Amino acid sequence: MNTSGIKTIFSSAAVLWSIAILSVLIAVSIGHIDITLKQVFDTVLGCGLGLGSCDPSAVVNQIILEIRLPRILIAFISGAALALSGAVLQTITRNPLADPYLFGISAGASLGAVLVLSLTFVGLSLSMGAMLGSLLAVAMILGFAGRFAGQIESLVLAGVAVSFMLSSFTSIALYHSDPNVVASMLFWMMGSFDHIGWHDLALPTVALLIAFAVFMAVHRWMTALLAGDELSTSLGINAKALRITLLVITALLTAVLVSKVGGIGFVGLMIPHICRILIGHQLNHLLPGCVVIGGIFMVWADVIARTLLTDQQLPIGIITAAIGSLFFILLLKQQQYRSRSI
């Protein structure tokens, strides 16, 4: 099939959402306790949507509704949000290597979480500490970049500086922490969808929907940013204000996610590249595509994390980093092959 054929298929919202829904249902059926796909359908339709009979006390229903479904939905939302943030950051910085973690948001979240775990007297929850840490990172980036915060180079340099600075503080805190705290922190820093309940889904979902609506509203302005700040300004766009606003929104979205599921690298970097190959560069198709494909990717990465080893779960960040590194090596090889054949 040629490239335009592939792009036509993946640009179809119906096709993508069908794959997404099917992926979620299949992922719910996979786990240490065998559940058939039919059981998943029956439970989701009966108990979830009220379209059939439902026995809430049945163990299988409880596993599906209370354990697996919220976990897989948060995986989907995390993948969607990280991929969307990555696509927006790569667009507004015109830098294909930009992702939410380049700007120190994850480093800030990790520092906040470590401090909450180490300094128990603070009395904050882990996710609240992580959220405050992420916000601190954003404030520091904007503070360091100062009046040059609208310029790409200043933003990226400030982001890298803040990321390293906060990571070093986290390392100091970990070095002086109790070994139990270190173990749980390491697991959290590599990302985990464990212990996620329905109550954890509300904030990330709302944040994702609001951010997506804003990004779609300004997608034409973002396209103009791709063509340069001068051209954007001459079209009536305040390029610097737009860039800072979108950075803050992606940072807040990532902070909400990181505070719930920890640091999951490579998704925000890799998925926008995959989506450009599958869908193309047009932002009004690329951004929704990143939401769905990012979600699907994370659902299956979580399935691998849960099932790769028989007796334990792997942190999700290990799986995404492994797939991510493989993807970029393949991309590199493909480019080398293309330039050889020209």
Q: Which residues bind other proteins (CB under 8 A)?
A: 94, 217-218, 220-221, 223-224, 226-228, 230-231, 233-238, 276, 281-282
Q: Where are the beta strands (DSSP E) in 79-173?
A: none
Please give the structure tokens belonging to residue 143. Answer: 């503070």
Nearer to other proteins, 168 or 234 (CB): 234
Nearer to other proteins, 1 or 213 (CB): 213
Which of 191, 186, 196 has its CA nearest to residue 316?
191
- Least Å distance, CB 7 to other proteins, is 12
Which of 61, 122, 109 has its CA nearest to residue 82?
109
Q: Hey, what's the torsion of the CAs at 6, 302, 199, 214, to 10 degrees?
A: -30
Residues 6+ apart with CB under 8 A from 235: 224
Please give the structure tokens belonging to residue 244. Answer: 């800072």
Nearer to other proteins, 191 or 288 (CB): 288
**d(Cα 87, Cα 322) in Å, to the nearest integer?**
20
Nearer to other proteins, 12 or 238 (CB): 238
Nearer to other proteins, 101 or 215 (CB): 215
Please give the structure tokens belonging to residue 169. Answer: 């503080």
Nearer to other proteins, 235 or 330 (CB): 235
Exposure string for 224-260, b = 16+ CB within 10 A, e = fewer: bbeeebeebeeeebebbebbbebbebbbbbbbbbbbb
- Least Å distance, CB 151 to other proteins, is 14
- Least Å distance, CB 302 to other proteins, is 31
Please give the backbone phi and psi of residue 132, each rounded to the nearest 5 degrees, phi first: -65, -40
Residues 6+ apart with CB under 8 A from 179: none
- Least Å distance, CB 247 to other proteins, is 18
Nearer to other proteins, 113 or 149 (CB): 149
Which of 161, 159, 185, 157 has its CA nearest to residue 171?
185
- Least Å distance, CB 234 to other proteins, is 4
The DSSP symbol for 12 reads: -
- Least Å distance, CB 232 to other proteins, is 8
- Least Å distance, CB 163 to other proteins, is 25
